[in-house]
Structure 1
């Protein structure tokens, strides 16, 4: 008897957006677990089609799809969230794979599921703005086989999640934003990267990685790290004006980028390594440390007044940065999920988790309670659910390896 038991044949459900939508779907918001593949098909006979595959009917039925109509100047958004009727709860474990196909390329994606964004699913034009956000420990993979040219690009990760973008080249006419929070990571790789402004922000133990095989170019390079956040831009770059803001043991490693001028302000045992040609101005307090790499800028901070202090910046011959290990695109197969939802009166408790596929079939287990008894059970699980939600938010994402140079 074989030890490897495959997943049972999946159950499936198809959902389609109304063909009567007056405007194309512009955004995708996924507040669900699982693995999602986002595809583009210009000949689709509906604005969007969703295929949900699972070994558990309760999982499929718990996912609610809808198109949210425009708010202010934003276009329609395809949304997915978990739902149970009032006075019921759901505890279920099983497998989940979702395929979302859109007729028009999207301008924004926010997801709590592991998400693979395939070629053509996002806008790509010099007048277009694109944003991608990862929440709740989700890993998002965006790959372009053709060059990217956009008016603005915004990548953000939260809660142990990551956003990974690869393209032959990236050109942003306006601002290229990379932001990571709460142990998340944003990582971008291309042969060439150019933007009017590159703004990187890393907070709460998170990290930003921007790397180009040939060259990174920016008129303005702004790097902000706080509370053990880390920013790494490497291995070759140029900029006109650099601004560095670091606090609370944060690190900014931009010594690979040759800037004409750099203004660095550090506090609270933080660190920055920069490279400036014309001038380097600094303001350092409470144990912060600035190093300049390669050569001494023409203008350096100088001590003034009766009580002269040494320069707040020192020369280094070692250019240090952390390097991101890019992950392979996940396979087109389901992942395990656990969902816990309770709804009683005005109280709504929700937590969910995606986890790796196992070699044995996932035991599709579920519990559904209703009525007053369900309410009492919900009260009993509220504390457990809240604790579980907090723990899940702090689960580590798929591992990456920082390498010190």
Structure 2
């Protein structure tokens, strides 16, 4: 066990309890993490400050699809950091245009707008959709509406939590911005009924991640695409968690054979090394933005672009997307073989999997804690759902190594 690899020169390693005490004393209490203090990662594994190794089955909510500390992404980051890290968009740099070209070619997009976080990408899409509605569709000033789905999760900004249906996200943060209609996720008839002449966009997750890997009924996204086309409405798909290989295709929309007007990507766009997100668009929608109307100091900086280019390159060259499809199917089948009267449903696509327990089965937090004791890191959501989302580089042997822990814990 290497117990000292995180210690700065001349300073002793602190214990898990000491690190937790520091967080509890000085940090805001807006998270409830498992009581493991991580200090190193490589591939699908992470190590805590006591030297214990864990299989990461959360992947930082898909931010490390390429695995922890991928050497080729690390090399691109250190090389670029030694040359030029940021210019601001007041000047051009030699990495931004290359990222534009490569990401647009990969996703069949016309235009790209770079940002930093996923929430910033969502906010950007909302602004673009409203501006398009006023300037192109002709919606009366101040009347634009955007249709969203219940149980959505698109981020934590004030505008976004204003159209959340999660009480924990909304309570105490109002008043909220108007202009949003909420319909049940997966209900095409409700979506159709909500669209009116002032509707400028429909914003959906192809698979709802934070809600517990909720996959919509077959044909739902196709119908949403058709309705948006018929009614001249922008279809925005938030692929920040589902995109870049997580579900076994580059974008989750591919499973339904649709293309969004605005596609949002982030998280794995940097392989976990740096905050990078992007709004991908067709030309008509994106070109409503003029100089000075939207921006970001760090968005599109050369360090971010170099990292994103490397992250995309290894995703494709190392067939991580194909691996997600193959290993995801194997893992899903293996989990479904677990016999337990606590399990209500096991569902997933690619390496985006959820185990939903019956509400009276004790809660998924206890399972996450029990799995942690057996060297597996997962996280509960909505009380009774356990998400299993390992990096896309995971092998069948590593899955087989982890299965005994799931077989021991999930039956209860």
Q: Same fold (TM over 0.5)?
A: no
Larger Rg belongs to: 1
**Superposition TM-score tier, normalisation by shorter sequence:** under 0.3
Structure having the higher helix fraction is 2
TM-score, length of structure 2 as denominator length: 0.25
Relative contact order, CA 8 A, sep 6+: which one is greater? 2
